[in-house]
Amino acid sequence: MVKGLASLPKPRWVKLLLLALFLVTLWLSRGLGLFDKLVALVMLGYSLKYIELHVRRDIEVFVLTGLFLVALSLVFSSQPLAALLALLVAFIHLLLLLSLDIQLSRAWVKQLALWLLGLAPLALALFVLAPRLPPLWQMPNPSSAQTGLSEEIRPGDISQLIRSDKLVFRAEFAKPMANQQLYWRAMVLDQFDGERWRRSELAQQPQRFSPASAEPLNQYQLLLEPADGSWLASLNPSSLTAGSGQYFADKSWQRRQDNFTRQLFQFDYLPAPSSETSNAAQLTLAKQLPAQLPAAIVELAEGLQQGLDRSASDYAQRYLAQLEQWFMARPFSYTLNPPAYPGLRGIASFLFEQQRGFCVHYAQSVVVMARLQGIPARMVAGYLGGEWEQSEQLLAVRNYDAHAWLEFWNGQTWQRLDPTAWIAPDRVENSLQQSQSTAEQWRNLNGWGKRFWYTEGMSRLRYWFAQADYWWAKWVLNFDQQRQLRLFASLMAWLPGSSMLMLTASMLFLGIVVTATIFAKPWRWRLPAKPVLALRWQLWLLARYRLRREAGETLAAFVQRVERQAPQRAAALKQAVDGYQQAQYHPSK
């Protein structure tokens, strides 16, 4: 039987509680994906193993299963705090395993912690030097670690998404960017059935990206979080320079790889083209509307185009300017908690009755009004702005930055139009948290925990957490083969004349030396006194002549034996022994 600290009490009520938790877990996991169910099954086995910790082998199986679950936990969350928690849980399991052989105490816990810290330099060197190979297999996507926009949008979907503060991506810029330029274009929705906006098959045709200008205005890097879709929310137009992505006919980017890991992508932000070609089928689709539109909407569209020349090249701009004036002349307001506006009648209710809405309601209404007059228009979903974590350099975009606007064809190119700017210009000029009205609305939609976390007093702590998370993801989670080779290239340029072999060996040697130094603790070393050093020297010299002091032999007896066997060495030994005894037993004389 296992005795000591590993033998934990297991009364009957604990067993009944674990059995109840087993049944509850099975019931709660019924709607999870395959990967989540398998993890839940392992967790159940780990919990139930606690009931039968009788022999040493049970403890070993329990600890190994716990360490396996620690590794699995990092699949669901790769944040720095999650890594620290995983390290702490792994340390506790190691202590449990150690308790099988020794009686644990504070000294042992401290010693184990110091050993692990001592191995950190060598582990860091191996992390940098070990070849970054691609994975040999792909795991199923964990459903609980994802966030982002869905591929179909109803008017109320985005307004529900903004209640969440989950991080979507971070963007790092080479040059400062104005907030008004930060329209992160994720997907184009050009099909409308009266209830939902969808992406058409024409929009999903892969294309080769052909920039109108090769000279970028700016460069930026995206660190994407796990997401439900493979969308690459980017500034338009942008050219992908690093990362695996696919360009499509609607000028959107998607990532090719799995979407449940944090990934880095690099883009060049390019000047907008003055003209472009558009597929005739795309323009036709961007004019289509469902049947049985409410008569009030049709009458409004007809009234606004009165006096305008439909054959003029700037007809689309003039008509939309008329529509803007119509909105501005009425008491429309921007709200994060709008009423429900289902279907086509919901559009009429929004325009003529409630006149309170979110970005998607304004964008949807203007698209419908434009299509009624034969102007090609389409809905665009993405994100607007973000929160600067480093002034004009590092930007964090979260779910609550979700936004919708529209693009219309002006005869030469697709032009962006954001009707939200007509009603709430502050929301377009600033991020949601920087705009006083929207920030207050968002806090009122959430519980006290988020309200407290987003107060001014917690801004510094949020900044520290954000910086730690960004650098962790950039230099640890995304330290792939490409970044490793770039690091080696920069080090070789900084150390002229060095080779890859010399650099690798030097870094590995440095890691070994630092780890060995931590274990040896030379700062605690104390040099012996001169008499002790003199005696040790004489003993070492005599050992070379095969005269060694035997176990239990006194110094006086050893001197006498040396006088008999090697009288020429006895005088020096006797002098060293006398000095040692004088220092040890008569230090004041």
The 3 state secondary structure assigned to 154-179 is CCCHHHHHCCCCCEEEEEEECCCCCH
Euclidean distance between CA atoms 570 and 559, whole angstroms: 7
- Can you give the pLDDT at residue 317? 92
Give the chain's length: 589
Last residue of a domain, one of 460, 489, 515: 460
Question: Highest mean pLDDT: which of 98-107, 217-226, 371-380, 464-473?
Answer: 371-380
- Can you give the pLDDT at residue 135? 58
Antiparallel, parallel or unpaired: β 206-207 and 245-248: antiparallel
Scanning the structure block, which residue is given the tokens 């006398």? 578
491 and 398, same structural domain?
no
202 and 79, same structural domain?
no
Domains contained in the chain, number:
4
Tens digits of residue pLDDT in 31-43: 666 777 777 778 7
Residue 318: both structure tokens together: 């003039």
Reference 424, options 432, 416, 413; nearest CA is 432
394 and 271, same structural domain?
yes
354 and 335, same structural domain?
yes
More confident site: 45 or 330: 330
Binned at pLDDT 50, 70 and 90, residue 139 comes out as low
Mean pLDDT (the chain, rounded):
82
Summarize the confidence of residues 567-583 as an average pLDDT: 86
Provide the strand spans (E) within 290-449: 333-334, 356-357, 377-384, 387-390, 394-398, 402-409, 414-417
Distance from CA of residue 529 to its chain's centroid?
57
315 and 425, same structural domain?
yes
Structural domain contains residue 137 = no
Q: How many CB atoms lie within 10 A of CB 369?
A: 25
- Can you give the pLDDT at residue 106? 83
Percent of the chain with pLDDT over 90: 20
- Can you give the pLDDT at residue 525? 74
> Please, which contacts does 537-541 make with residues 24 or more away whose CB atoms are closer than 8 Å?
537/576, 538/569, 538/572, 538/573, 538/576, 541/569
Summarize the confidence of residues 151-158 as an average pLDDT: 74
At residue 210, does pLDDT exceed 50? yes
Binned at pLDDT 50, 70 and 90, residue 3 comes out as very low
Tens digits of residue pLDDT in 363-408: 999 999 999 999 999 999 999 988 888 777 888 898 888 899 999 9
Residue type, 90: A
Which phi and psi (to 5°) does residue 566 adopt?
Answer: -145, 75
Provide the strand spans (E) within 487-585: none
Asked if 169 contacts 188 with a C-beta cutoff of 8 angstroms, the reply is no
More confident site: 449 or 316: 316
Asked if 26 contacts 45 with a C-beta cutoff of 8 angstroms, the reply is no
Summarize the confidence of residues 59-80 as an average pLDDT: 84
Euclidean distance between CA atoms 251 and 239, whole angstroms: 10
Binned at pLDDT 50, 70 and 90, residue 105 comes out as confident
Binned at pLDDT 50, 70 and 90, residue 129 comes out as confident
Binned at pLDDT 50, 70 and 90, residue 145 comes out as very low
Which stretch of 140-149, 232-241, 495-504 has the lowest confidence by average pLDDT?
A: 140-149
Q: Checking phi first, is residue 11 left (phi over 0); if not, alpha (psi -120 to 50) or beta?
A: beta
Asked if 352 contacts 398 with a C-beta cutoff of 8 angstroms, the reply is no
At residue 496, does pLDDT exceed 80? no
Reference 182, options 434, 456, 460; nearest CA is 434
Regarding pTM above 0.85, the answer is: no
Distance from CA of residue 503 to its chain's centroid?
30
Summarize the confidence of residues 132-136 as an average pLDDT: 62
Provide the Cα torsion 144, 146, 149, 155; round to 10°: 20
446 and 347, same structural domain?
yes
Question: Highest mean pLDDT: which of 136-145, 176-185, 223-232?
Answer: 176-185
Reference 264, options 520, 15, 483, 578; nearest CA is 483
* Owning domain of residue 575: 530-585
Asked if 320 contacts 224 with a C-beta cutoff of 8 angstroms, the reply is no
- Can you give the pLDDT at residue 148? 60
Binned at pLDDT 50, 70 and 90, residue 487 comes out as confident
Euclidean distance between CA atoms 5 and 99, whole angstroms: 6
558 and 503, same structural domain?
no
At residue 131, does pLDDT exceed 90? no
- Can you give the pLDDT at residue 377? 94
Structural domain contains residue 138 = no
Collapse the DSSP code of 110 into the 3-class scheme (helix H, G, I; strand E, B; otherwise coil) and give the result: helix
Structural domain contains residue 177 = yes
50 and 68, same structural domain?
yes
Collapse the DSSP code of 391 into the 3-class scheme (helix H, G, I; strand E, B; otherwise coil) and give the result: coil
Structural domain contains residue 128 = no
At residue 309, does pLDDT exceed 90? no
Binned at pLDDT 50, 70 and 90, residue 1 comes out as very low
Helices (H) and strands (E) in the chain, counts: 22, 18
At residue 586, does pLDDT exceed 80? no
At residue 89, does pLDDT exceed 60? yes
Euclidean distance between CA atoms 51 and 18, whole angstroms: 9
CB contact burial 31-54 (16+ within 10 A = b; e otherwise): eeeebbeebeeebbebeebeeebe
226 and 255, same structural domain?
yes
Q: What is the per-residue DSSP string for 434-491?
A: TSHHHHHHHHHHS-HHHHHHTSGGGHHHHHHHHHHHHHHIIIIIT--HHHHHHHHHHH
Structural domain contains residue 106 = yes
Which phi and psi (to 5°) does residue 413 adopt?
Answer: -155, 165
Percent of the chain with pLDDT over 70: 92
Residue type, 488: F
169 and 75, same structural domain?
no
Distance from CA of residue 456 to its chain's centroid?
24
Asked if 401 contacts 431 with a C-beta cutoff of 8 angstroms, the reply is yes
Scanning the structure block, which residue is given the tokens 């964990």? 142
Structural domain contains residue 83 = yes
374 and 308, same structural domain?
yes
Structural domain contains residue 548 = yes
Q: CA torsion sign, 422 to 425 to 431 to 434?
A: negative
Structural domain contains residue 219 = yes
Peptide bond into 237 cis (omega under 30): yes
Binned at pLDDT 50, 70 and 90, residue 138 comes out as low
At residue 554, does pLDDT exceed 80? yes
Angle formed by the axes of helices 34-49 and 56-76, to 10°? 150
519 and 548, same structural domain?
no
